[in-house]
A and B are shown apart, each in its own frame.
Chain A
Amino acid sequence: MNKMTTDIILNDIETWRICLNINKEIFSEIKINGKIGILPRNSDGSEGSTIQVWEILEDSIRVSLQPFLGFRDASADLIFLLESSALEEIYRHLKNELLIGLRKQIRHGKALLFLMKGRDYLIDMGYEELIEYLGIPCLGTCH
């Protein structure tokens, strides 16, 4: 998949918004103003220049595109860094298998979940359930 396709998928915020809101119970534990980012990973390993941000509102999820200026300035609490093939796969099954898809891509090494805030903050914000579901233990691991 080329960059143009990645951009098309990322820019299709209406489809993302509809599908995220259909599945909003997935995010029901997360407090209002919680933000999750989807960031494409370029083939050279660098990050894309645009991040899609899902913001938890009182009764819905807002989807927006923002320029990505580096991790230091990112406003999201969690960022999924996705290879283009992973982004395409997730987009394809967005309606029914968003979380399953993300977990699968993480396990296959095609997606990387970056935790932008400390553990206590993330737990306070209600991310624990989501993080654990994705197969990432909140109390660390070592294998």
Chain B
Amino acid sequence: MITNQGAYPDPKGEGKAYFRQVAIYDDKFLPQFERIAAMFKENGAVAIQQILHAGRYGGIDLGYCAAPSVVPQTLPHFRPPREMSKDDIKQCIKEHVEAAKRAIKVGFDGVEVTSFMGYILANFLSKFTNRRTDEYGGSLENRGRFMQELLMEMKEAIGDHLLIVRLNGTELMDQYGGNTEEECLELIKMAANSGVDMISMCIGWQESPASSIGRDVAPGHWNYLAKQAKKEIPNIPLAFGVRLPGAVMANDSIAKGQFDLWEVCRPFLADPERLHKVAEDRTREVKPCIGCLLCLSRLFRDLPYICSINPVLGHEVEPEYQIRPPAYQKNVIIIGGGPAGLECAVTSARRGHKVTIYEKKESLGGQLRVYSNHDLANKQDLEDLLSYYEAMIEKYGIEVKLGVEMTAKQFRKMLHRFDVAVAATGSGIDHGSLPGAEKAVTAFEVMEDKVQCGKRVAVISGKKVGLSTAEYLSMAGHEVVVIEQAKRIAEDVMPTWKWRHASWVEEMNIKTITGVYVKEITDAGVVVIKENGDLAVEADTVVLAERQSQQGLFQELEFMVDELHIIGDAVSPRGLYQAIHEGYRLGARI
């Protein structure tokens, strides 16, 4: 079963959730839907069209959003709410019915209604957003009335075609006064009695203060809610897939009777071929979705989805991104086995080049492996990504030389063995010219357990490496202070993850000093310059965590090889997404 992206059903656009969302309020849009339905069905799938009225998160082209009551927004991205009248409710039902009829008319086998995540029906269901005093507000029964009326009228309109409704197993809005898990379960039962053929379960609202789908939630964490719902609605198929990125675990959950169908969305962005690979017993070759939520970070900026792991997403038809055989096979040396080097090696080997990776450490993965060892979220996500690269290295016969630090002198001995050299040498931490820097250790030394820190530690840099180091040390029992020049910590962290670091820092009582310059490192700690003078920060160990690109070898290899390239953190210290994307783009054109 393939569900096409949610189309908003109203001509005003109150239901429109995001830039470039498809609409289905008029017959003029139908040719595109007809093509999509036909494509799904020609390939053997059941074709479903989702109808999405975003309610509280809608009206993105308007100055307001439609809602059951005027309950202000808690995120600035969304529009101020305007209360719907009873006529508005009737009109909304009518528009959903018409949208469903259009979808069926052009060949879809069914439609899915969105009563989850803070969209319009969910807004009526929730105690937090529904303050109405008429028959659509108050009791659970009244709050569910709009959803029931809508589902019943839609079912009547589409007859034997499938009607699916997507609901929350939990809103994660309890602290705002939202529905409890028990109330969500009652609403699922209410929907099951309203003529639906299948229920799909989701977790959380967009403005939920707690995590539902990010890396800090363990895969399978929410299955208990699916299991509870399945018990209550044994005769209606239940689809589920929240934070359940792997086919093996999903299969196991289905076998245990926790739910009936595995739903997958974001993992397909990471690897659209995943089902074929699983079916062909090539599970190790599946690119894992690591739950970084770069995709959603982009959505909130009105930008198209991209994926950290899959650089091709959104560029599928562009020749520069396609894997094509090269004009002739080249011998490629990749210096550095971090994410950029690994992705470049795999991509160029897939095209037919002969690739050798030189890595100075005894294992591949670079900073990704170091980070995954101390990951406070879910280590397995990053380890799965490294396992994927290992599987691909094996598959494409990439030669790997571990424990060999490539130097210009050594490369000179191999002159003419390689046509292409790629410097994927990553970033390092330079002691630089900071007075007293020789007294400090680096974050990499700490994370690789090469040094022992004292009780009180000052970490210089509140960016991602500094924060990860500070969190690791704090977990190990050290008293940690983070010193950052910028006004805020986590400046280089993805928007969907900044809050996570900020929360960890607060929960672990890590002190932060921001907006200051480091003047010197002394035997007693660090001296920083503040607006009103110097401040001495006492510490037994000072950790340097500001990264610099390592370009020395790249410069030395000039005039020693036909083609020379540089990628990833060696260009400029950034993150996983940039490393993988640059590695791929270079691998696709060497």
Per-residue CB contact flags for chain B residues 283-314 toward chain A (1 = under 8 Å, else 0) read 00000000001001001110000000000000
B80 at the interface (CB under 8 A from A): yes
The bracket for how many chain B residues form the interface is: 35 or more
Cβ–Cβ contact A140 & B300, under 8 A: yes
Task: Decide if B78 is an interface residue (CB 8 Å cutoff).
Answer: yes
Residues of A within 8 A of B212 (CB): 143
Q: Is the CB of A112 within 8 A of B74?
A: yes
Complex interface: chain B residues within 8 A of A118 (CB): 63, 79-80
Whether A142 lies near B74 (C-beta < 8 A) is no
Task: Report which of B72, B175, B300 forms a contact with A142, defined as CB distance below 8 A.
Answer: B300
Q: Encode contact with B along A43-70: 1 for CB under 8 Å, 0 otherwise.
A: 0010000000000000000000000001
| Interface members, chain A 63-120 (any B CB < 8 Å) | 70-72, 79, 104, 107, 109, 112-119
Does A13 have its Cβ within 8 Å of any Cβ on chain B? no
Residues from chain B with a CB closer than 8 A to the CB of A113 are: 74
Residue in contact with B495 in the complex, picked from A45, A79, A116, A141, CB distance below 8 Å: A141
Q: With A71-B70, A109-B209, A143-B211 known to touch, is A136 a contact of B293 (CB < 8 Å)?
A: no
Q: Are B77 and A109 in contact (CB under 8 A)?
A: no
Note all chain B residues with C-beta closer than 8 A to A138: 76-77
B77 touches A112 (CB 8 A): no
Q: Which one, B72, B299, B499, contacts A135 given CB within 8 A?
A: B499
Chain A interface: which size bin? 20 to 34
With A107-B503, A107-B506, A133-B488 as given contacts, are A142 and B296 in contact (CB-CB < 8 Å)? yes
Measured CA separation A19–B198 after assembly (Å): 57
Q: Does B75 contact A (CB under 8 A)?
A: yes
- Do A109 and B296 touch across chains, with their CB atoms under 8 A apart? no
**Is B401 part of the binding interface, using a Cβ–Cβ cutoff of 8 Å?**
no
Most buried by B among A118, A135, A136, A142: A142
A118-141 Cβ-contact flags toward B at 8 Å (1 or 0): 110011000000011101111111
Residues of A close to B206: CB separation below 8 A: 140, 142
Residue pair A137, B506 in contact (C-beta under 8 Å): no
Decide if A139 touches B176 in the complex (CB within 8 Å).
no
A141 close to B71 (CB less than 8 A):
no
Q: Which residue of A lies closest to B500 (CB)?
A: A143
Are B72 and A137 interface neighbours, CB within 8 A? no
| Shortest Cβ distance from A100 into B: residue | B506
Contact of B300 with A139 in the complex, beta carbons under 8 Å: yes
Q: Report which of B76, B177, B211, B503 forms a contact with A131, defined as CB distance below 8 A.
A: B76
What residue in chain A is nearest B57 (Cβ atoms)?
Answer: A140
Q: How far is the CA of A122 from the CA of B72 in the complex (A)?
A: 14
B502 interface residue per 8 A CB criterion: yes
Instruction: Say yes or no: A115-B300 contact (C-beta < 8 A), given A137-B499, A140-B77, A143-B213.
Output: no
A114 to B76 CA separation, bound complex (whole angstroms) = 9
- CB pair A115–B74 under 8 Å, yes or no, is yes
A10 to chain B, nearest CB (A): 20
Known: A109-B175, A115-B72. A135 touches B502 (CB 8 A): yes
Enumerate chain B residues within 8 angstroms of A140, measured Cβ to Cβ. 75-78, 206, 300
Q: How far is the CB of B199 from chain A (nearest CB, A)?
A: 22
Tell which of B83, B176, B211, B498 touches A137, judged by Cβ atoms closer than 8 Å: B498
Interface centre among A123, A137, A141 (most CB of B within 10 A): A141
Chain A residues positioned under 8 Å from B216 (CB to CB):
143
Q: Which residue of A lies closest to B77 (CB)?
A: A140
Min Cβ gap B138→A in Å is 13
- List, in ascending order, chain A residues with CB within 8 A of B211's CB: 143
- A76 to B75 CA separation, bound complex (whole angstroms): 16
How many angstroms from the CA of A141 to the CA of B57 in the assembled complex?
A: 12
Query: Considering the chains assembled together, what is the distance between the CA atoms of A52 and B510 in angstroms?
Result: 33
Chain A contacts for B495, CB-based, 8 A: 137, 139, 141
Please pick, from A112, A136, A143, the residue contacting B214 in the complex, using a CB distance under 8 A.
A143
Write out the residue numbers on chain A whose beta carbons fall within 8 Å of the beta carbon of B79: 118
Contact with A along B197-239 (1 / 0, CB 8 A): 0000000001011111110100000000000000000000000
Instruction: Give the shortest distance, in Å, between A130 (CB) and chain B (any CB).
Output: 11
Q: How far is the CA of A115 from the CA of B488 in the complex (A)?
A: 22
In the complex, A141→B499 CA distance in Å? Answer: 9
B496 touches A136 (CB 8 A): no
Extra pairs beyond A116-B72, A142-B300 (12, CB < 8 Å): A72-B83, A107-B506, A112-B176, A115-B74, A136-B76, A138-B76, A138-B77, A139-B301, A140-B78, A140-B206, A141-B499, A142-B496
Query: Which A residues form the contact surface with B (CB < 8 A)?
Result: 45, 70-72, 79, 104, 107, 109, 112-119, 122-123, 131-133, 135-143
Q: List 27 A-B contacts (CB under 8 A).
A: A45-B127, A45-B177, A71-B70, A71-B71, A71-B72, A72-B83, A79-B72, A104-B506, A107-B506, A112-B74, A112-B176, A114-B74, A115-B72, A115-B76, A116-B72, A116-B80, A119-B77, A132-B488, A133-B488, A135-B499, A137-B76, A140-B75, A140-B77, A140-B206, A141-B496, A143-B208, A143-B213
